[in-house]
Structure 1
């Protein structure tokens, strides 16, 4: 054990993100659920015209410009929005503000593994409740735990399924702690749970510009909740957690809904075609409300296919853990990238 760190930190396993090849590497990258299309031209125009004065001075501490733009798009008051350095920072703020050592953090699995990492950092008691094979929400089990924080990713990763607003409403109404609805992939669905923040003081919706808006490299996310819940998060956030460039570019991106929606429509169409192609190769493909697919290859060849594709310059995601070690998660790329993947898989199988 290292003498420098808290015992719970020493005992933690590090969060392992998807592989990130060096810039310029000729790779078909379908492992991190990034949007295959460029950001909004309006956002890129802001980037090209950055004023040096923005860099000399500290940024607005609450991302006011972005909050105003998001307020108009979502139809919620500005003071119901908190802005973060990616949605991951907001998840961290919630755990830091709401969870003490020994308190319970609960979520259904499999899901975003960062939830466990954040809970371990606070020495929380972690309660992981397995999803059934059809990924129906284990509502009664979640309610019975009644954690200080309950995480629900909807749509979920790696399964791609959506938890209905009615199910989330039932859960929120029976919890005394905070319900975090992580809507990172919400741009690819037809339903969202935003209305619940007006109904329940203990609900916070988390969103990101990484997926639908093609800004994963920018690191900008936001949360929507009753100001009574947000006041605790503002207490524990860094003084200037949103840089001026991210705020300006994010403002342009979220304002350009026409461009975002056009890219989303292309991804949905490509998702459907990729699912069809993989089924014809013998894959089991789960229905997805995201920009990726969870699939089960024939003959239990998940790890083999992952390794062989990697050797051939195609990155997808393989999780070597119970319940997922016979499956693959594949981000939806451009039609050209998807066809390169299908061709490679056909050859390997």
Structure 2
């Protein structure tokens, strides 16, 4: 028997399974990983066309200061309240490394972003998953009772698309002794944000990404906003030069082009309304969403059968074969043209 080279916790974990990523140029309608269907800011693309080779020869700024200052300008937050990551996933990992150990735990309501569990399993810490209530209201009492070293709340949540009311988050922050990390990856498609809570509570961090609203999933750039006292420990454990110079330069310009980002986000929101109505007319149960996707339950057709049928027709959606989700699909909002092809194909498959 070949010996293992890994820690027992690594041997035991299954690892994160990303959504399927076909090769660029593949003729497929990709509605499975919540990318923005519109291109990035033209101003950001111009940065790539005028790239100075000196940016590549030298190490980048270790704190991505140009990008931090752009975030500071847009959100009226001091730049030293901002930490930048190689995607928001890196910041999740940094928080877990800095704040947890074997004797404490990471807590979050489920169903939610499955990477939380994967990142927690890498570290020597415990995980407590608290089921959402049937109406996706936040189980505040159970989360408070758990008193996690870190409590993750995704809002808007994936895969449900619901937003946690700010008064619930405020109540939770008031009663938690550990870090409350509010993951707002999809906030650009929502009506509200919890950003104000970072000024009220020293244990609250709000996490953002450029992957969704800014159409820069391939760039891998995210940021967290929190009191500098909380960030001080995170800076100790982040990689020394974690943000490359190109990502910093492109992200800085994209962040400042709020007008373009907001225009694209509004188009997605308009399409979401139409898609939700059309799916309901096809007989799907559709949950209200404030993200760039919708969670649906086909009735009476089997969800996995529809997922496989769509894939065979060149349309990818997300299917989670796990308790509570095995009868549902998560569908990214595409362009109106993509959504129409999706609806036509769904109607055909259900009739067949």
Which bracket does the TM-score occupy, shorter chain normalised? over 0.9
> What is the aligned partner in structure 2 of residue 32 from structure 1?
33
Deviations along 1:121-176, whole A, 9 cap, x unmatched? 11211110111221000000000001000000000000000001111000000000
List gaps (5 residues or longer) in structure 2: none
Give the distance between the partners of 2:126 and 2:259, measured in 1 at CA: 44
**Pair 1:139 & 2:135 matched:** no
Partner of residue 76, structure 2:
75
- Structure 1 residues 1-349: aligned runs within 5 Å: 2-349=3-350
Q: Write the distance in 2 (CA, Å) between the matches of 1:121 and 1:174.
A: 27
TM-score (norm 1): 0.99
- Structure 1 runs of 4+ off > 4 angstroms? none
In structure 2, how many angstroms separate the alpha carbons of the residues matched to 1:102 and 1:272? 46
Judged with a 3 Å threshold, the aligned counterparts in structure 2 of structure 1 residues 2 and 131 are, in CA distance, closer, same or farther, namely: farther
Change (3 A) 1:102 1:13: farther
* TM-score, length-scaled by structure 2: 0.98
The whole-number CA distance in structure 1 between the counterparts of 2:211 and 2:111 is: 21
Q: Secondary structure at the match of 1:129?
A: strand
Q: CA deviation at 1:47?
A: 1.0
Structure 1 residue 118: Cα displacement: 1.0
CA distance in 2, matches of 1:156, 1:288: 9
The structural deviation recorded for 1:3 is 2.1
Q: What is the total number of aligned residue pairs between the two structures?
A: 349
CA deviation vs aligned residue, 1:237-286 (integer Å, no higher than 9, x gap): 01100000000000000100000000011000000000111011000000
Question: Secondary structure of 2:129's partner?
Answer: strand
Q: Structure 2 CA distance, aligned partners of 1:2 and 1:193?
A: 48
SS of the residue 1:222 aligns to: strand
CA contact 1:300–1:326 (8 Å) conserved in 2: no
* DSSP 3-state at the match of 2:223: strand
Q: Deviations over 1:10-55 (max 9, x none)?
A: 1111100100001110000000000000000010000111100000
> Cα deviation per residue 1:274-310 (whole Å; 9 max; x = unaligned)?
0111011000000000000000001141000000000
1:201-232 Cα shifts (integer Å, max 9, x gaps): 00001000000000000000000000000001
Distance 1:111 1:2, change over 3 A: farther
Distance in 1 between the 2:84 and 2:303 partners?
A: 38
Whole-Å separation in 2 of the counterparts to 1:106 and 1:239? 28
8 Å contact kept, 1:29–1:316: yes
**CA displacement at 1:2 relative to structure 2:** 4.8
Does the residue aligned with 1:298 lie in a helix, a strand or coil?
coil
